[in-house]
Structure 1
Amino acid sequence: MAMGRIVRRAKSDGSGTITFSLALGAARQICRLTTTFQTDKQAFSYLHKYRTEFEQMARMRLASGELEDGIVVLSML
């Protein structure tokens, strides 16, 4: 399986959702992470702290075809 990494240009839409790209070689996969944090700063901090785990989850969902409109959807518990 191709190695991936989260591209640093993550952004928030202001409604508890962070969008980021998972780099898969030269390709990029858009991922959406729904959060329960009160602030973007808290959500981004959590995303970066657990980056490896989110990368693994995103790759597994991508490999199994679990996409919504071509986007990997993840949620923070």
Structure 2
Amino acid sequence: MLIVPRVKSDGGGTITFTLAHGAARQICRLTTTFQTEKQAFSYLHKYRTEFERIARARLASGELEDGVVNLSML
């Protein structure tokens, strides 16, 4: 999984990561309310398997927005 942080101006942010889907890679974006990248990364790593499961399910059902699987905090 490749993770790239992006901080929003309202203090929250998004973490973009790629999900391996066979030979292809799918971009996923997790929206968070954490104030720091460290907090957001810790959260993502703690729930990594759950986010991957949700992302795979959304990808299988075609729930994409502009080719990206969008996720939010659990």
Q: What TM-score comes out, normalization by structure 2 length? A: 0.89
Q: Distance in 1 between matches of 2:47 and 2:5?
A: 17
Q: 1:48 aligns with which of 30, 45, 49?
A: 45
Aligned pairs, number? 70
Instruction: Show the 5 A alignment for 1:1-77.
Output: 7=1, 9-15=2-8, 16-77=13-74
Taking only the aligned residue pairs, the percentage that are identical comes to 77
Higher strand share: 2
CA RMSD of aligned residues (A): 0.9
Q: Distance in 2 between matches of 1:58 and 1:49?
A: 16
Partner deviation per Cα, 1:29-74 (whole Å, 9 max, x = no partner): 0000000111110001110111100000000100110000000000
